[in-house]
Structure 1
Amino acid sequence: MSQAPNDRKYSAEHQWALPEADGTITVGITDFAQETLDDLVFIQLPEVGSEVAANQQVATVESVKTASDVFAPMSGTVIAINEAAVDAPEKINEDAYAAWLFKIQPSNPAEYDALMSAESYLAAN
């Protein structure tokens, strides 16, 4: 059974969004997503400085089974990417909620409120 920590919100496309103290949002894929994909072998992340829109495809994760798009849960500017995840995609399989993918400086912080709670996300999946 997948898990979903209550300290963040979730998109219908299986991304999580964790608000940081500085107002930025850390983004990753959910435990459900990594379980469905199985063993991750490759990650392509957006470029730092990229402007992204909510629900826009911005990254790709590939497993031994398939490739899957990763969508931005919020609009904003990509301010950091997790090179460690690119170098070792299996870290996401080990702990999907610790192995983040990228960070966004949101252009519309209110979009966070439209994302699902952990309870809503788990009920939908």
Structure 2
Amino acid sequence: MRNEIAVVAGPKEWGDTRGSWLARVPGAVRRALGTKRETVSHRAVRGLWYGEITDLDHHAARDVRRAAEIIKARKEAAKLATTFQTVAEKMRAAHHTDFSSDIARLERVARLLGGGDRA
């Protein structure tokens, strides 16, 4: 569970204490899950971190795990979008007229994966 909390909390800044770092988790879970209210309390996050909550089916553990999966998937999609954009640029430079439809398709997929196009 500590790995999932670390993914959700993000990197520790130079001025962060463990408490301030863990305090970012409830808001990050709310944003990742797209809920209006925080579904995980700071106290529950601390309990998960320190092993006070051991039930993996606890609502806080489920929400943190789900948020970590979403955050990892978004990072992976952004990385893939960058790769697709790079391939499209190289194809455009080398074979602009031959593969114009493939280039356009790659750029469209890169925009969709990167979150730049919602249509």
TM-score > 0.5, shorter chain as reference: no
State TM-score, norm by structure 2.
0.26
Structure with the largest fraction of strand? 1
Which of structures 1 and 2 has the bigger CA Rg?
2
